[in-house]
Amino acid sequence: MTLAERLRDLAALLPDDGSVTLPVRDIKAWIAADGLAPGVAAAAADNGADEWLTAEQCAERLQVSVRWVYDHGVQLGRRQLSRRCVRFSARALARQMARKS
């Protein structure tokens, strides 16, 4: 099914004044499936999922202290999930490790 066909089917389900929000990863996958843009297939294969690590996991991977991880949280893709819950992006951690090597 082509991108145009998918969008046409989606539009048929909506009222004329309706709207829809689509995840970018789905749109990229549709484009890649149609062969409309070279290089999009690789981006579509990476569905945007990221692993979210605790400070302890980050410290272990980087071989640094947990305090260092908290102090450099912005560089490590820190996300404050609640007042007492912080997670760090594995992707940002990999970028940080690549910069240091």
**Residues 62, 96: one domain?**
yes
Reported as a single tens digit per residue, the pLDDT across 29-76 is 777 777 665 554 455 455 557 889 999 999 998 899 999 999 999 888
Reported as a single tens digit per residue, the pLDDT across 77-100 is 899 989 889 999 888 888 888 887
**Enclosing domain of residue 21:** 3-45
Determine the longest span between alpha carbons in the chain, in angstroms. Answer: 57
**Residues 56, 96: one domain?**
yes
**Residues 35, 65: one domain?**
no
Q: What is the pLDDT of residue 39?
A: 53
**Residues 39, 57: one domain?**
no
Residues of the chain with pLDDT > 90, as a percent, come to 25
pTM for this model (two decimals): 0.51
Please, what is the end-to-end C-alpha distance for the chain in angstroms? 44
Angstrom CA distances, 12 to 7, 8, 16, 38, 70, stand at: 9, 6, 9, 29, 49
Q: What are phi and psi of 43, to 5 degrees?
A: -65, -35
Q: What is the pLDDT of residue 56?
A: 95
Q: What is the pLDDT of residue 48?
A: 59
Q: What is the pLDDT of residue 1?
A: 72
